[in-house]
Amino acid sequence: MERRNFIRNAAFSGIALTGVTGAMNASAAGSVTSNNPKFKLKYAPGLGTFKEHAGSDPIDNIKFIADQGFRAIFDNGLMGKEPALQEKIAAELARQNMDLGPFVLYADFSVRTMVLDNEEVREMLRKKMQDGIEVHKRTGVKYALVVPGRYDEKLHWDYQTTNVIKNLRMCCDILGGSGMKLVLEPLNAHTDHPGLFLTGMPQANMICTAVNHPACKIVDDMYHQQITEGNIIPNIDMCWENIGAFHIGDNPGRKEPTTGEINYKNVFKHIYSKGYDGVLCCEHGMSKKGKEGELAWINAYREVDSFEV
């Protein structure tokens, strides 16, 4: 792994960080150099993040992302793509020696599902797990994201928790030795998703511990966590054995790091120091539009990845 200081793009930001040759450079016209130094952590832009530079083709996007030093991508909509395209994406990622972050397997924010003791819900989940296994076989993706749905105002919270645990055990048993794991995503109720059952890292950690299956993990979305409970680094440590992946987004605004209140350089340094080698999905927007915004986005990651090790 290369451990260098990087030069931040001066054409748009006016800021230069001292560094060595091979760092990213951008012209005023918005062009970027290729084959930049690899990032320390596997920050994963989504397919389509750099459409102003790379267009809409997924393979061209992967090539551009790799050229900028990223070592992973994520695609929430992977499951909805044609099998042939899934395989093509996987082949290009393998060629680039890149990882694929969690895709959305099940996340319906409008209905009560896992909180219920209901055979129809269980049958739906069985089908979802089988579909997810097929995506895993085609792509090698390690994690599939699951949201338990809305809570039930008429059912005691502890009964709902029990039902979620039982439903997740069933899902994990179906996954069995397939090699794919689930990641539960706690989502904030204050800004984005009122009414959902799973809202915090302590709650997700308790559920994973109760499910007691190696295929049940958490995706720590640090944007949501900052809104819900904050205390990001201590919560990472408390939940560490159950964290399978991370989502990134600054708060407020849910844009790239350095645009909000989260000290991502310190957070990433802490995650790196714990030996994490998984994916951190860049699940956020851009603070600027066009090519300038894409370059600012990349430069933000150069800045927060410049921690000393």
In a 10 Å sphere around its CB, with 0-12 CB exposed, 13-18 middle and 19+ buried, how is residue 290 labelled?
Answer: exposed
- Residue whose structure tokens are 């797990």: 129
Q: Is 158 helix (H, G, I), strand (E, B) or coil?
A: helix
Collect the ranges in the chain with pLDDT lower than 70: 1-35
What sections of 68-140 are H helices per DSSP?
83-96, 119-139
Cα–Cα distance, 254 to 265 (Å, whole number): 16
> What are residue 142's phi and psi, to 5 degrees?
-90, -30
pLDDT of residue 301: 98
Task: List the catalytic residue out of 92, 229, 261, 283.
Answer: 283
pLDDT of residue 34: 67
- Residue whose structure tokens are 């090699």: 179
The structural domains of the chain, ordered by start, are 39-304 (3.20.20.150)
pTM above 0.95, yes or no: no
Task: List the catalytic residue out of 185, 256, 292, 303.
Answer: 185
Q: To the nearest 10°, the Cα dihedral for 37, 40, 41, 44?
A: -10
Which residues partner with 43 through β-bridges? 280
pLDDT of residue 36: 85
pLDDT of residue 26: 38
Contact 38, 72 (CB under 8 A): no
pLDDT of residue 217: 98
Which residues partner with 73 through β-bridges? 100
Residue 241 a catalytic site member: no
Cβ density class 144-165: b for 16+ within 10 Å, e for less? bbbbbbbbeeeeeeeebbebbb
Contact 65, 298 (CB under 8 A): no
Backbone region of residue 188 per phi and psi (left: phi > 0; alpha: psi in -120 to 50; beta: other values):
beta
Residue 283 a catalytic site member: yes
